[in-house]
């Protein structure tokens, strides 16, 4: 089995999370957990990149890193769904707009 690993620069481009932030999280939270090549450079598997993309989405919604960094994809996806429900429930006018969009109501 040939596992594809990505450089830290590639992870930064794909996730929008800076290299320095990734290094700090690795020390502070124990995630991500990169492999290392012969030169000691960090290499990240695709599964961790997927997790980091979900983490970034939650950070963009105002969730603090300590609450989400290191959670598995299922937990992160649940948080994203829960966050969407909270926004919809707390802002009824947005819920109405979502419903109009779902049914294809012309603006």
**Rounded to whole angstroms, how far apart are CA atoms 50 and 56?**
10
> Could you give the CA distance from residue 62 to residue 72 in angstroms, rounded to a whole number?
19
- pLDDT of the chain along its 107 residues, tens only? 558 899 999 999 999 999 999 999 999 999 999 999 999 999 999 999 999 999 999 999 889 999 999 999 999 998 888 776 555 555 666 667 767 777 776 65
Q: How far is CA 16 from CA 3, 35, 94, in A?
A: 23, 20, 27
Query: Could you give all domains of the chain from N- to C-terminal order, each with its CATH number?
Result: 5-103 (1.10.1660.10)
């Amino acid at each position: 089995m040939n596992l594809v690993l990505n450089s830290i620069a590639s992870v930064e481009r794909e996730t929008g999370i800076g290299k320095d932030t990734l290094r700090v999280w690795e020390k502070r939270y124990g995630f991500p957990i990169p492999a290392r090549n012969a030169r000691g450079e960090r290499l990240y598997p695709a599964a961790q990149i997927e997790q980091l993309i979900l983490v970034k989405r939650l950070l963009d919604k105002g969730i603090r890193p300590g609450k989400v960094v290191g959670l598995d994809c299922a937990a992160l996806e649940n948080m994203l769904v829960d966050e969407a429900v909270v926004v919809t429930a707390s802002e009824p006018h947005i819920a109405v707009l979502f419903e109009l969009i779902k049914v294809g109501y012309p603006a």
